[in-house]
Amino acid sequence: MRSNPFGKQFTASALALAVSLGAHAVTDEDILNDQDTVDDIVSYGMGVQGQRFSPMDALNTGNVQYLQPAWAFSFGGEKQRGQESQPLVKDGVMYVTASYSRIYAIDARTGEEIWQYDARLPDGIMPCCDVVNRGAALYDDKVIFGTLDAKLVALNKDTGKPVWIKKVADYQAGYSMTAAPLIVKGKLITGVSGGEFGIVGKVEARDPNTGDLLWMRPTVEGHMGYVYKDGKEIENGISGGEAGKTWPGDMWKTGGAATWLGGTYDPDTDTIFFGTGNPAPWNSHLRPGDNLFSSSRVAIDPDDGSIKWHFQTTPNDGWDYDGVNEVISFDYEENGKTVKAAATADRNGFFYVLNRENGDFIRGFPFVDKITWATGLNEDGSPIYNTENGRPGNPADADGEKGETVVAFPAFLGGKNWMPMAYSQDTGLFYVPSNEWSMDIWNEPVSYKKGAAYLGAGFTIKPANDEFIGVLRAVDPKTGEEVWRYNNPAPLWGGVLATAGNLVFTGTPEGYLKAFDAKTGEELYKFNTGTGVVGTPVTWEMDGEQYVSISTGWGGAVPLWGGEVAKVVRDFNQGGTVWTFKLPKDRVASN
């Protein structure tokens, strides 16, 4: 661990700034109101529901061409790789995580470093999909983030000094942490990564002031949940009621279902939503059954971790489609009534709209151009499997050798992967960063060994088209209509922001920050940051001006796992910079 609480060039003005900010604690009310306030960003998702919609309209379709760089801050050193973080902003200070479990506090007006903290990582970390970190949480006087060796670190937000450090799981068994924590009702809510290593997924709640456990809920059927009171561990029911209902033998003991993307929260129903990852191993013939609660969305009671309901998108997942993608709460009117809905765009290529009160399926539809593993959805939202050649073959049918190879659309990296979509309260549309690719996939024999990859499958990913892979889509959740699309040559791997200025922002691996007309998809702005963008943009107001920030630095899963797709991006430059832009005051005008 290296903590440099005053940064490399700590100045008297920075010290005065840090001291003056000490009294401005981040409260539960601040977090619940985050989507409505414009002068700060205190939650991942720009609001606990994860809509990533800003009510600001000073920056709009009529003046976005005047958006200009204000400052750029380099993460420095030789540690580059994928920069997937979403910045937070409070009282003129930006808090942003970086690859290799680093975090920075930056003067949001000048781009000067206030402090930097580097986690001391052991040599044996085993992140599946690059050394990324997606963000932090702010609460009271602390900033809290997870590390690649499966720890949580709480720092004083004004000095960068550690307040507490807690081990969440055993990194030597394959556990890690890459997601931004979530604060709900004074609780710190986190998940875990590691599904490729046969770990057991879980969601935990901790006291953000001490790091002490409050409850723990496993996301694999058959494992016991707990609540913690006065230092005592109290049983709180087995996930799913009992072991082995949808798993054969003892395979539930290493079942995967990692909660690696973190969660969202809906105050209306007082519910936490988490997605769960692939079942382990990938070879689905070894684990006949639905394999709950893998590849699912799980609704959790924030008070004790009980599961309220679940919705499984890919039962008996044999393609590594996961189910971790974010669940975004939204309301819409239908037949004179307000529908309390939630939307999620799955890696399997289907977009789902659910009743967030009870998990009932409302509608689902493909949001990618081609799906081969299933031919559609049943009335309850379950998949209609392609039984001809949709699932990779059983190695047992080939005398224990490689099973029959199939070509599957989409590839396991998904119609949409981790990169968060946005919902505009003005247009009623979701803006979905997606990709068009296929894979050759086959199964192989495999057995579990602690800390070793637990796949039992091989694959090669290929582009589905010659001209483009990435597609930014505007999707109507009420009809399934694709209202507009933007095709990008390289895969899209960064998040999306929508604003009341009728703008949609995202970044591209080619290095551009781009802005589009939210209604038509017309490209209105682009700026070359010099390195691929896989971060998520945010916007806020400071000193009467609207700012936009994004972390840049190429990396993530695509260059590691992308097969033939990786050839498309092999010449893209790595990097590590936070770019911050602003609209000058003299350019503010309504559309």
Dig out the tokens for 211 from the structure: 């790091």
Cα separation, 541 vs 555, whole angstroms: 30
Report the C-alpha gap between 105 and 87 in whole angstroms. 10
Find the helix or strand (DSSP H, E) in which 21 lies: helix 12-21
Residue 303 a catalytic site member = no
Per the DSSP assignment, residues forming a β-bridge with 538 are 549
Question: CA 571 to CA 552: how far, in whole Å?
Answer: 16
Tokens standing for residue 67: 């958006």
Outline where DSSP puts E strands in 356-481. 361-366, 374-377, 383-385, 406-408, 422-423, 430-435, 437-443, 457-463, 470-475
CA-to-CA distance for 494 and 471, rounded, in angstroms? 12
Q: Residue written as tokens 């809510």?
A: 189
Annotated active-site residue in 141, 149, 320, 322 = 320
| CA distance linking residue 171 with residue 48, whole number of Å | 28
- Residues 353/331, Cβ–Cβ less than 8 Å: no
Q: Which of 249, 190, 246, 194 is nearest to 221 (CA)?
A: 246
In 3-state terms, what secondary structure has residue 155? strand
Q: Name the token pair of 295.
A: 């590849």
What are 96's two structure tokens? 């942003």
The full DSSP string for 100-160 is TTEEEEEETTT--EEEEEE----TT---SS-S-----EEEBTEEEEE-TTSEEEEEETTT-
Contact 197, 454 (CB under 8 A): yes
Q: How far, CA to CA in Å, does 179 sit from each of 70, 302, 320?
A: 28, 18, 19
CB neighbour burial string for 81-120, b if at least 16 within 10 angstroms, e if fewer: bbbbbbbbbbbbbbbbbbbbbbbbbbbbbbbbbbbbbbbe
Residues with a known catalytic role: 320
